[in-house]
């Protein structure tokens, strides 16, 4: 069990300025992130994943953390736990969520990951509305233009795919300093 309040994964909803944020091992919140303002608020939760996503009850995602997630088109998202994943239709505000595919091993869902570091898990994902989805694993990054087309992949070490534009230092106390590297796509 992770510490209370620890964010493990998130994906943007198809609804304006909303995101699903998965915390701890089995909880989530629906957030209105209100960009450019201080009016962000929790719209729903914290709730158990199995209560908000009925289709995930009795699956690996009911008992174990969603480690990574990213939205696709419409009301769909990929969710991951270790080397398992599923494609879900999260059907916002309807209670009619469903599993479209999975849960299954990542390499079974995405055969082009077989033999790569992504076969055993995905640490984080980023989906831009203008750029390809980027998946991260250890020190590797993978740009995915279309998840069903292996030729659209560009894999490499982080520094091959991203340029370090600057490093920022945040000091909170004598004991706590955080360095954040800002990366741009190469």
* Domain annotation covers residue 186: no
- pTM for this structure? 0.76
Q: Which residue has the higher pLDDT, 123 or 132?
A: 123
Q: Which residue has the higher pLDDT, 10 or 165?
A: 10
Looking up residue 149, the CATH number of its domain turns out to be 2.110.10.10
* Domain annotation covers residue 29: yes
Q: What does the pLDDT look like over 163-182, one tens digit per residue?
A: 444 444 455 555 554 444 44
Average pLDDT over residues 69-83: 90
In the block, which residue shows the tokens 């969603």?
A: 66
In total, how many domains does the chain have? Answer: 1
Asked whether the beta carbons of 92 and 18 are under 8 A apart, the reply is: yes
* φ/ψ (deg, to 5) at 160: -80, -35
In this structure, of 5-14, 81-90, 135-144, 157-166, the range with the lowest mean pLDDT score is 157-166
In the predicted model, what is the mean pLDDT of the chain? 76
Question: Which domain, by its residues, includes 116?
Answer: 7-157
Residue 41 pLDDT grade (very low, low, confident, very high; cuts 50, 70, 90): very high
Average pLDDT over residues 5-32: 88
Report how far residue 150's alpha carbon sits from residue 107's, in angstroms, rounded to the nearest whole number.
Answer: 12
pLDDT value at residue 97: 95
In the numeric block, which tokens belong to residue 162? 């991203």
Residue-wise DSSP of 2-13: PPTT-EEEEEE-
pLDDT value at residue 164: 43
User: Within 10 Å of residue 64's Cβ, how many Cβ atoms?
Assistant: 14
Quick check: 133 pLDDT over 50?
Answer: yes
* Domain annotation covers residue 177: no
In the numeric block, which tokens belong to residue 11? 């994906």
Residue 23 pLDDT grade (very low, low, confident, very high; cuts 50, 70, 90): confident
* Domain annotation covers residue 47: yes
Share of the chain above pLDDT 90, in %: 34
* Domain annotation covers residue 184: no
Q: What does the pLDDT look like over 88-130, one tens digit per residue?
A: 999 988 989 999 999 999 999 888 788 877 888 888 887 776 6
Report how far residue 113's alpha carbon sits from residue 104's, in angstroms, rounded to the nearest whole number.
Answer: 13
């Amino acid at each position: 069990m992770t510490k209370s309040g620890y964010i493990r994964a998130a994906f943007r909803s198809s609804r304006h300025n909303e995101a699903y944020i998965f915390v701890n091992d089995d909880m989530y919140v629906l957030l209105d992130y209100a960009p450019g303002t201080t009016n962000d608020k929790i719209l729903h939760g914290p709730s158990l994943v199995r209560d908000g996503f009925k289709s995930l009850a009795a699956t690996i995602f009911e008992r174990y953390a969603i480690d990574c997630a990213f939205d696709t088109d419409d009301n769909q998202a990929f969710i991951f736990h270790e080397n398992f994943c599923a494609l879900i239709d999260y059907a916002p505000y309807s209670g009619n969520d469903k599993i479209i595919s999975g849960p299954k091993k990542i390499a079974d869902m995405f055969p082009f990951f077989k033999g790569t570091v992504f076969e055993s898990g995905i640490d984080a994902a980023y989906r831009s509305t203008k750029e390809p989805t980027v998946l991260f694993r250890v020190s590797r990054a993978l740009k995915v233009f279309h998840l069903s087309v292996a030729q659209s992949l560009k894999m490499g070490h982080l520094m091959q795919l991203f340029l370090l534009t600057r490093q920022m230092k945040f000091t909170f106390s004598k004991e706590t300093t955080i360095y954040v590297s800002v990366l741009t796509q190469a």
